[in-house]
Structure 1
Amino acid sequence: MQLTEQSFAAQKIRRLALVVSHVLTPVTLATLLLLSAPLRHDQVSWPEALIAAAFTTIIPWLVLVVAKMRGKVTDLHVTQRHQRHWLYALTAGSILGGLLLLWLLDAGGAIFREVLAILLGLLVVSVINLWWKVSVHLSVGTYVALQASDSIGSLMPVVVAGIAILSWARIRSGQHTASQVCGGVLVGVAIHYASNLLGVFLD
């Protein structure tokens, strides 16, 4: 009886971890970051933010949904590492298309910086995933949280808590090991600082 209760409790915890993973997906977090750009940067307009989000996250996500329906990927998180490469390439192409459109519209440097940072993160994760499975959830989640905290410094405790919760969710749901989660956090931190460096040239 005790073993059954423990097993039931473990299943409930895993379901909760999966819910957190589904809510805090990379596409959701990155889309919210880009759409909130006008609130964080005075020089970014709402149309520019919408274009950036459409080409950076929304279009690739729609392609992913179609791929899932056709059986080209096993799940929307693309947990099978070998299924990610073509999707990364397509996403990079879509982002470059969005950057071209933003350039034609003479968009400000701030939105270019955020999109370029996401593209850089995509490239870094793609290279790492050739040999090792790093957590994309934590890469994006950490980057988004740190970018948001730049605008509101008092958010840092929330940032730390959010990263901790997402790390717990990815481990307890069985999607990643602790080392893969830590690797994702490190990538997110590195891309955040790279984004700040880009700001020296673009803002």
Structure 2
Amino acid sequence: MNDTLAPARAGDAFARIVSIVLHPFAVFAALAMIATIVLAPTAWPRTLVGMTVVIAVVWGFIWQRRRSGRWGTVDASHPRERPALYAVVLLLLAGYWWWTRGSVAPLAQGVLAVVAMLCVAALLNRWIKLSLHMASLAYAGVTLLSLYVPAAVVALGMLPLLAWARLRMRRHTPGEVLAGCALGVAAAVALRLLAR
């Protein structure tokens, strides 16, 4: 009996690791640092501090919600859990945009694209719980095509693995995974068109 459960447990554990490593926080932090190093190398300390503060505050909020029993998972997996998460993240991103707009103008444009992407996801949340994991990785992959192609290839190449992980963990349906990916690609393409 234990021999038959071991592969399933290993698959579940691997899916969880993939979801943690490719969490939107990690993806956006990596994208912000790469964009800063490529576009405004002297501003990387400011970007690092800003990203650290945003991620710490959001994680604190998530941890408090989970520990208090208001959320079932740290992923805000139920659609009713997401509005509060969207509100906190959007507020922090607005502050981050304001803080970086002078020192790293292209990064500020990227933050606005992420804000727009999250606003669309928040509006659609009533009907579909888009995968923010997929949206963030797709956004990063397409955005990185104009910044650092090797990182873009890695990000885009990881999309199928992340899709499998989100489905394996039963956090999303196939439609939610595809819709999240489509939203990320659309936001990145819009950013590239507007940045010209």
What interval of TM-score do these two structures reach, taking the shorter chain for normalisation?
0.7 to 0.9
Q: Tell me, which stretches of 5 or more residues in structure 2 are unaligned?
A: none
The within-5 A match list for 1:16-31 is 16-31=14-29
The within-5 A match list for 1:125-136 is 125-136=121-132
- Given candidates 180, 187, 194, the residue that maps to 1:184 is 180
Q: Percent identity?
A: 24
Distance 1:51 1:155 in 2: 22
Distance 1:176 1:50 in 2: 31
- Given candidates 63, 71, 74, the residue that maps to 1:73 is 71
Check 1:195–1:55 CA distance in 2 against 1; reply closer, same or farther (3 A cut). farther
Contact 1:171/1:178 (<8 A) preserved? yes
**Deviation for aligned residue 1:101:** 2.6
Check 1:48–1:115 CA distance in 2 against 1; reply closer, same or farther (3 A cut). farther
**Deviation for aligned residue 1:109:** 1.8
Deviations 1:166-195 (A, max 9, x none): 111111222222221111110110011122
Contact 2:131/2:172 (<8 A) preserved? yes
Distance 2:30 2:56 in 1: 11
RMSD: 2.2
Q: Tell me, which stretches of 5 or more residues in structure 1 are unaligned?
A: none
Contact 1:20/1:166 (<8 A) preserved? yes
Contact 1:17/1:173 (<8 A) preserved? yes
1:113 aligns to 2:109 (yes or no)? yes
- Given candidates 41, 47, 50, the residue that maps to 2:48 is 50
Contact 2:140/2:155 (<8 A) preserved? no
Distance 2:124 2:178 in 1: 13
Contact 2:109/2:191 (<8 A) preserved? yes
Amino acid corresponding to residue 100 of structure 1 in structure 2: W
Contact 1:36/1:49 (<8 A) preserved? no
> TM-score by structure 2 length?
0.87
> TM-score by structure 1 length?
0.85
1:170 aligns to 2:163 (yes or no)? no
Match of 1:15?
13
Amino acid corresponding to residue 164 of structure 1 in structure 2: P
**Deviation for aligned residue 1:84:** 0.9
Amino acid corresponding to residue 69 of structure 2 in structure 1: G
Distance 2:152 2:140 in 1: 12
Instruction: Choose 1 or 2 for highest CA Rg.
Output: 1
Contact 2:140/2:152 (<8 A) preserved? no
Deviations 1:53-92 (A, max 9, x none): 2465442222222222222322211111111101211211
Distance 1:108 1:154 in 2: 22
Distance 1:156 1:91 in 2: 25
